A = this chain, B = another copy of it.
């Protein structure tokens, strides 16, 4: 790990960032991080790694990516779980998640996108237009997907500013949809090979599958400890681990998360919690929460609850399933990748009933006292599916609170009141 006093400004300038705006952003994130995360007591010691990662969010990691490119590697940006990181790594690339979790340059954004676009898409576009995201700028290629109307159409505009390639995700999960998706995996391989001038081989893919599986296994191990009562890690810290998984160096991340998991296992054995045993245990489900969006977790945990699981793309949907490692031939491995990724329970599918089953199963497994369903305003797939999630919770007899929000702080007061009332009800 490098000296944190390194001057990264020449690097940011080379990447084309707006240094003044970027300074403002980099000034704001530590304040948010400090208020949401560093203010916690009883944190696992291993979280100091994430404190470091956050302090270097646009510094060391970007330098590593720049160095990686200088050494002949490539960087591929993605917005969604459906783009297989294994394929990117198998051609010598590093994958970085580009979704952003803060309001930025919305004035400029709303000249291109309607005001009533979900915060995740507006934020991502705002980071691009405002020239404050080095991850987007360092990327050689951005791979999008047709998950939702908003992103699907946003990519058409983004393609005018960056090299964008879009995968077609089907909208159902029948055999013929799986076949279409499988062919999109082949098409992405071709694109990545052409863009990086590297060939994907059985060996390189095999190594990438194991590496990314190891990352997911580490997250599974960390998150399994949250079944314990008292829970050994706060929801905010567990969320942070998944958020960082989207852009950190993979082997290092895996090592550090396994180390935290070991500490958490010891905490569980010792009956030591990050929150009191009496704290109401909450499962959060809904749309993803990208850095620095810790809003809901912060409200829940400051109100005395503790989040024990996230059924979200920045949560269990990211790490709960591995790619089959028993297959070793190239087409078979690509089949296994296609299958694993199509299995994700996104509300963009119709029907998506497996998600409802999974939410209830997770709530039981993690002994949740209640479910908080939190979806971004203007996200039609999740906001409409919310009706079915509410019904599933009701049928399972699990109390549920529904929240529709965005990245602004404007509703923090109202959110706090509602969450406090909910926690009181289920205590």
The answer to whether B380 and A150 have CB atoms under 8 Å apart is yes
The answer to whether A168 and B157 have CB atoms under 8 Å apart is no
A156 CA / B381 CA spacing, docked (Å): 11
A contacts with B, residue count (CB < 8 A): 39
Q: In the complex, how many angstroms separate the beta carbon of A203 from the nearest chain B beta carbon?
A: 29
Q: What is the 8 Å Cβ interface bit string for chain A, positions 151-176, against chain B (1 contact, 0 not)?
A: 01111110000000010101110001
Pick from A149, A168, A387 the residue with the most CB of B within 10 Å.
A149
Q: Which residue of B lies closest to A382 (CB)?
A: B153
Known: A168-B170, A170-B168, A350-B156. A114 touches B176 (CB 8 A): no
Q: Which residue of B lies closest to A375 (CB)?
A: B114
Pick from A148, A177, A350 the residue with the most CB of B within 10 Å.
A350
The answer to whether B116 and A153 have CB atoms under 8 Å apart is no
**Taking the complex as formed, is A351 at the interface, i.e. its CB lies under 8 A from any CB of chain B?**
yes
The answer to whether B166 and A350 have CB atoms under 8 Å apart is yes
Contacts of A347 in B (CB 8 A): 153
Contacts of A380 in B (CB 8 A): 114, 117, 148-150, 153, 378, 380
A378 CA / B378 CA spacing, docked (Å): 7
The answer to whether B113 and A384 have CB atoms under 8 Å apart is yes
The answer to whether B404 and A114 have CB atoms under 8 Å apart is yes
Contacts of A171 in B (CB 8 A): 146, 152, 168, 171
**Taking the complex as formed, is A396 at the interface, i.e. its CB lies under 8 A from any CB of chain B?**
no
**Taking the complex as formed, is A200 at the interface, i.e. its CB lies under 8 A from any CB of chain B?**
no
The answer to whether B166 and A383 have CB atoms under 8 Å apart is no
Residues of A within 8 A of B (CB): 112-114, 116-117, 146, 148-150, 152-157, 166, 168, 170-172, 176-177, 180, 183, 347-348, 350-351, 377-378, 380-381, 383-388, 404
Pairs of residues from A and B, 8 with the lowest C-beta to C-beta distance, nearest first: A153-B384, A149-B380, A114-B383, A146-B171, A150-B380, A149-B149, A149-B381, A152-B350
* Contacts A116-B377, A116-B383, A117-B384 known; 13 new A-B pairs at CB < 8 A: A113-B387, A114-B380, A116-B378, A149-B380, A149-B384, A153-B347, A153-B350, A156-B350, A157-B384, A157-B387, A170-B170, A378-B378, A380-B380
